[in-house]
Structure 1
Amino acid sequence: MTTHKPPMPRAVTRTLNGWLKRRAKIARRPLNTAITLGALSGLLLIPEAWLLAKAVTGVIFAHRGLTSVLPLLWPLVGLFFLRALMSHGGTISAVAASARVKRDLRQTLHAKIARLGAGFIGSERSGDLASLLVEGVDTLDKYYVTYLPQMMIAAFLPIALLVAVFPADWVSGIILLVGAPLIPIFMIVIGRGTERLNQTQWRKLALMSAQFFDVVEGLTTLKLFGASRYEAEIIGRISDEYRQSTMSVLRVAFLSSLVLEFFTTLGVAMVAVFIGFRLYYGQMHFLPGFFVLLLAPEFFRPLRAMGTQYHARMDAIAASERIVALLETPEPETAPGTAAAPAIFRTIRFEDVHFAYRAEQPALAGIDLTLTRGERVALVGPSGSGKSTLARLLLGLAQPDAGRIALDGTDLRDIAPENWFARMSWMPQRPTLFAGTIADNIRLGVPDATEDAILRASRAAAAHDFITRLPDGYDTVIGERGQGLSGGEIRRIALARALLKPADLLILDEAEASLDQTTAGLIRDAIAALPRETTVLLIAHRLETAEAADRVLVMRDGRIVESGTAAFLKEQQSDYAAMSALYHEGAL
Structure 2
Amino acid sequence: MTTSVTDRAAEPTSTHSPPRYTAKTWLRSKLDHAGRWPKTAVAMGSLSTVLLLVQAYAIATIAQQLVIERAPFAHLYSLFVLLPAAMVLRGLCLRFKTIASARAGIQVRQAVRAELLSSIATRSPMWVRSQHSATLGSHLCNDVDALDGYYADYVPQMYLCGIIPLIIIVAVMPLNWAAGVILLITGPMIPLNMAMVGMGAKNLQQAQIVEMGRLSRHFLDTVRCLPTLKLFGLGKRQARSVERVSEDFRKRSMKVLKLAFLSSTALEFFSSVSIAILAIYIGFVYLGQFHFGNWGGSLSLQAGLFILILAPEFYQPLRDLGTHYHAKAAAEASAEVLMPIESDANEHTESVSSSTSDWNSQAPVSISFNGVTAHYPNRAKAALEDVSFALEAGQTLAVIGPSGAGKSTLLSALMGFLPLTKGEIRCNQQSLAQLPRDQWHRSLGWVGQHSAIIKGSLADNLCMGAHASIEKEMLWDALEKVHLKAWVESLPHQLDTPIGEGGQPISGGQARRLSVARALIRNAPLTLLDEPTASLDADSERLVIDALRALKQQRSLVILTHRLELLKLADHIVMLDDGHITAQGSFTELSAEGGPLHPARNVTGGAP
The farther-off stretch of 146-155 and 206-215 is: 206-215
1: distance between equivalents of 2:230 and 2:489?
Answer: 30
Give the structure 2 partner of residue 522 of structure 1.
Answer: 543
Give the letter aligned to residue 58 of structure 2: L
Query: Is residue 422 of structure 1 aligned with residue 446 of structure 2?
Result: no
2: distance between equivalents of 1:206 and 1:565?
Answer: 50
Q: Aligned match of 2:46 in 26, 39, 48?
A: 39
Q: Give the match's secondary structure for 1:362.
A: coil
Q: Give the match's secondary structure for 2:594.
A: coil
1: distance between equivalents of 2:556 and 2:451?
Answer: 21
2: distance between equivalents of 1:53 and 1:488?
Answer: 85
1: distance between equivalents of 2:380 and 2:28?
Answer: 44
Query: Is residue 576 of structure 1 aligned with residue 576 of structure 2?
Result: no
Give the structure 1 partner of residue 215 of structure 2.
Answer: 208
Q: Aligned match of 1:539 in 560, 563, 567?
A: 560
Give the letter aligned to residue 524 of structure 1: I
Give the structure 2 partner of residue 339 of structure 1.
Answer: 357
Query: Is residue 304 of structure 1 aligned with residue 326 of structure 2?
Result: no
Q: Which runs of 5+ in 1 are unaligned?
A: 1-11
Query: Is residue 370 of structure 1 aligned with residue 352 of structure 2?
Result: no
* Distance change in 2, residues 1:285/1:348 (3 Å): closer
1:566-586 deviations in Å (ceiling 9; x for gaps): 466444233323499669x9x
Give the structure 2 partner of residue 357 of structure 1.
Answer: 376
Q: Give the match's secondary structure for 1:79.
A: helix
Where in structure 2 are the equivalents of 1:15-414 lying within 5 Å? 16-24=23-31, 27=34, 29-55=36-62, 62=70, 64-65=72-73, 69-103=76-110, 105-106=112-113, 109=116, 117-169=124-176, 172-213=179-220, 235-272=242-279, 285-325=300-340, 336=352, 338-341=356-359, 344-345=363-364, 347-357=366-376, 359-414=379-434
Normalization by structure 2: what TM-score? 0.79
Q: 1:427: Cα distance to partner?
A: 1.4
1: distance between equivalents of 2:373 and 2:118?
Answer: 28
Whether contact under 8 Å (1:345, 1:407) holds in the other structure is: no
Q: Give the match's secondary structure for 1:545.
A: helix
* Distance change in 2, residues 1:31/1:17 (3 Å): same
Whether contact under 8 Å (1:508, 1:537) holds in the other structure is: yes
Q: Give the match's secondary structure for 2:382.
A: strand
1:376-406 deviations in Å (ceiling 9; x for gaps): 3433333233333323333333344333222
* Distance change in 2, residues 1:523/1:291 (3 Å): same
Q: 1:535: Cα distance to partner?
A: 1.4
Give the structure 2 partner of residue 498 of structure 1.
Answer: 519
1: distance between equivalents of 2:72 and 2:181?
Answer: 34
Whether contact under 8 Å (1:353, 1:403) holds in the other structure is: yes
* Distance change in 2, residues 1:259/1:476 (3 Å): same
Where in structure 2 are the equivalents of 1:472-491 lying within 5 Å? 474=496, 476=498, 478=500, 488=509, 490-491=511-512
* Distance change in 2, residues 1:263/1:406 (3 Å): closer
Q: Give the match's secondary structure for 2:598.
A: helix
2: distance between equivalents of 1:403 and 1:538?
Answer: 22
* Distance change in 2, residues 1:148/1:184 (3 Å): same
Whether contact under 8 Å (2:401, 2:562) holds in the other structure is: no
Whether contact under 8 Å (1:512, 1:541) holds in the other structure is: no
Give the letter aligned to residue 527 of structure 1: L
Q: 1:167: Cα distance to partner?
A: 3.8
* Distance change in 2, residues 1:294/1:578 (3 Å): same
Give the structure 2 partner of residue 510 of structure 1.
Answer: 531
Q: Give the match's secondary structure for 2:417.
A: coil
Whether contact under 8 Å (2:481, 2:550) holds in the other structure is: no
Q: 1:463: Cα distance to partner?
A: 5.7
2: distance between equivalents of 1:357 and 1:212?
Answer: 30
2: distance between equivalents of 1:74 and 1:468?
Answer: 80
Q: 1:233: Cα distance to partner?
A: 5.5
1:170-191 deviations in Å (ceiling 9; x for gaps): 5654544443233223323333
Q: 1:242: Cα distance to partner?
A: 2.2
Q: Give the match's secondary structure for 1:75.
A: helix
Whether contact under 8 Å (1:339, 1:415) holds in the other structure is: yes
1: distance between equivalents of 2:582 and 2:235?
Answer: 43
* Distance change in 2, residues 1:377/1:232 (3 Å): farther
1: distance between equivalents of 2:375 and 2:226?
Answer: 31
The farther-off stretch of 300-309 and 124-133 is: 124-133
2: distance between equivalents of 1:55 and 1:452?
Answer: 86
Give the letter aligned to residue 247 of structure 2: D
Q: Give the match's secondary structure for 1:205.
A: helix
C-alpha RMSD of the superposition: 4.3
Q: Give the match's secondary structure for 1:575.
A: coil
Percent identity between matched residues is: 32
Q: Give the match's secondary structure for 2:469.
A: coil
2: distance between equivalents of 1:508 and 1:533?
Answer: 15
Whether contact under 8 Å (1:460, 1:523) holds in the other structure is: no
2: distance between equivalents of 1:146 and 1:333?
Answer: 33
Q: 1:19: Cα distance to partner?
A: 4.4
Whether contact under 8 Å (1:569, 1:576) holds in the other structure is: yes
Q: 1:93: Cα distance to partner?
A: 3.2
Give the structure 2 partner of residue 558 of structure 1.
Answer: 579
Q: 1:429: Cα distance to partner?
A: 3.4
Q: 1:255: Cα distance to partner?
A: 1.4
2: distance between equivalents of 1:227 and 1:485?
Answer: 35
Whether contact under 8 Å (1:116, 1:332) holds in the other structure is: no
Query: Is residue 445 of structure 1 aligned with residue 472 of structure 2?
Result: no
Whether contact under 8 Å (1:554, 1:563) holds in the other structure is: yes
Whether contact under 8 Å (2:491, 2:497) holds in the other structure is: no
Give the letter aligned to residue 36 of structure 1: A
* Distance change in 2, residues 1:253/1:339 (3 Å): same
* Distance change in 2, residues 1:570/1:171 (3 Å): closer
Give the letter aligned to residue 356 of structure 2: T
Give the structure 2 partner of residue 9 of structure 1.
Answer: none
Give the letter aligned to residue 519 of structure 2: A
The farther-off stretch of 142-151 and 264-273 is: 264-273
Q: 1:220: Cα distance to partner?
A: 7.1
Q: 1:475: Cα distance to partner?
A: 5.5
Q: 1:141: Cα distance to partner?
A: 1.6
